[in-house]
Amino acid sequence: MAHPRLLWAGVALLSAALGLAQFGGSAAFERNPNGKALIETYEIIQEQYLEPIDHERADELLQGGISGIVGALDDPFTSYSPPRNAHIREEDVRGEFFGIGVQIAPANPDGTGAKIVNVFRGGPAFGAGLKTGDVIVEVDGEDVTELPLFDIVAKIRGPKGTQVSIGVRRKGASAVLRFEIVRRKIEIVSVSKAMLPGNVGYVAIETFLNVKVIEQLRKAVTDLKQQGATRLVLDLRDNGGGLLDQGCQVADAFLKRGVIVYTRDRRSTRAYCEASPRTIWDDEMVVLVNGSSASASEIVAGALQDKERAEVVGEQTFGKGVGQNVFTLANGGELTLVTFEWLTPKKRSIHEQGVTPDVEVRDNRFPTPLAFEGLGAEPGAQVTLSTGGKTYTTTADEEGKFSFSEELPPRALSDVQGEAKVDVENDAILKKALELLGAR
């Protein structure tokens, strides 16, 4: 059978490699009429469908069965990853892979396509001339504009020293720009730091989906101490979680004793991890959270709050209080299955509730863009809208319809891995944290 590999705290039947005889041999399938019907359906399709079912098509049918069973649970935190996606996630967890050194996000609202949101200084893509804002349209000559982001990542990554051709659409360029880039080892840096006014050290953890998080955190805090930091801001905003063990180790780095997190499964509730006396920071600190802080982020925030080690500032967190085991299947795919709930040191359940900050402040870093539609104007007429101190002008179409919209500038990210870019003056949550630390 498949075996659990990792404990996750994070945001089909069997595998295509399994034969039909194995389905038939499963007691659960034999006892359940629907199980028998599922096997019969597959056999009938194999034998009677108009077009012959080749091996590749049979794999697709079985993968669809896996996805169907998992989807029927209707659990947003239980999922099946086909072999290619599982391989990418394994690389992310290891904290290194062979690629070109860019950070990408979906280019389209449905999660497809890829646009570059950051190019890391000194990486292969930086040297080749790729830029933040470029939209990737081709990989090795193949159109990728409608592919899922995971598939595009898989095409960009590859063996060390091999070459990949990247075609991008760039604002102001009339044609697709193509770059030949040699893949090399890229380390995923999930922790970034900065020195702020008043001898305040700032550390942001982007994700816990990296076994090197605690190692990177220790180094960042050591560097800040050497630069004279006497107070600390730990920023967990937009951190959707990751590995439970990394969350435990980060909380442990600031606590000297006591249970950090409890886990509750079908059978019992037990202490999962406890703090050890050795810490990396003993002075005053504040933790920042928002509505996208989830899972392992909430473990850290909840533990430091329950232990009164740090004030938590920001927005109500997401509320993902369940964890998963990752089962590696026979085809190389992975089943990520919810198997336990975690509780804070005071045994608070935060699932679908979140961690309530000690000081609530709305996250103002990403304002909602203007989007407005109207009708009833004279066709071709100029329509003006004034709101928020800004004036917008557009032209009504032949039916008298008109719309206003604005595209927000991309979030400013540091192009040096490990170095944070912060906006002290315009970040309301960070400003409040600095006030609490007496640095403003």
Q: How far apart are CA 248 and CA 327, in angstroms?
A: 21
Domain for residue 335, yes or no?
no
The domain in which residue 68 lies consists of 12-76
Q: Are residues 71 and 101 in the same domain?
A: no
Summarised one tens digit per residue, pLDDT across range 53-81 is 999 899 889 989 899 999 999 999 999 98
111 and 176 co-located in one domain = yes
Per-residue pLDDT band at 92 (split at 50, 70, 90): confident
- What's the confidence (pLDDT) of residue 17? 33
Residue 51 lies in a domain: yes
Give the C-alpha separation, 262 to 340, whole Å: 10
Final residue before a domain boundary, out of 162, 187, 212: 187
Nearest by Cα to 105 from 123, 88, 117, 91:
117
| CB distance 26 to 32 below 8 Å | no
User: Does the pLDDT at position 93 exceed 80?
Assistant: no
300 compared with 29, residue with greater pLDDT = 300
Which residues have a catalytic role annotated?
295, 306, 320
| Sheet containing 231-235: order of strands | 191-196, 200-205, 231-235, 285-289, 311-314, 359-360
Share of the chain above pLDDT 90, in %: 62
Could you tell me if 98 and 87 are in contact, meaning their C-beta atoms sit under 8 angstroms apart? no
Half-sphere exposure of 43 (CA within 13 A, CB side): 11
Segment holding 103, helix H or strand E: strand 102-105
Cα 358 to Cα 308: distance, rounded to the nearest angstrom: 10
Residue 166 lies in a domain: yes
Q: How many domains does the chain have?
A: 3
- Give tens-digit pLDDT for 369-402: 556 666 667 777 787 767 666 777 888 777 767 6
Domain boundary among 170, 187, 204: 187
Residues 160 and 104 in one domain: yes
* Domain presence at residue 257: no
Q: Are residues 178 and 123 in the same domain?
A: yes
How many CB atoms within 10 Å of residue 141?
Answer: 8
Q: What pTM was computed for the model?
A: 0.79
- The pLDDT of residue 90: 80
Residue 366: name the closest of 403, 404, 405, 412 by CA.
412
Evaluate whether 383 touches 87 at the Cβ level (below 8 Å). no
Last residue of a domain, one of 28, 45, 76: 76
Q: What is the CATH classification number for the domain harbouring 146?
A: 2.30.42.10
Q: Is 413 inside any structural domain? A: no
Query: Do 33 and 67 belong to one domain?
Result: yes
The tokens for 6 are 């990792």
Strand extents, DSSP E, 190-345:
191-196, 200-205, 231-235, 242-243, 259-264, 269-274, 285-289, 311-314, 322-328, 334-343
Q: 90-104, 125-139, 393-407: which has the minimum mean pLDDT?
A: 393-407
In a domain, 44, yes or no: yes
Residue 175 within any structural domain of the chain: yes
Quick check: is 147 in a domain?
Answer: yes
Same-domain pairing of 121 and 169: yes
Cα separation, 354 vs 344, in Å, equals 11
Are residues 179 and 121 part of one domain?
yes
**Residue linked to tokens 């950090």:** 260
Do residues 56 and 18 both lie within one domain? yes
> For 323-373, what is each residue's pLDDT tens digit?
999 899 988 888 999 999 999 999 999 999 999 999 999 999 876 655 666
Q: Do 181 and 111 sit in the same domain of this protein?
A: yes
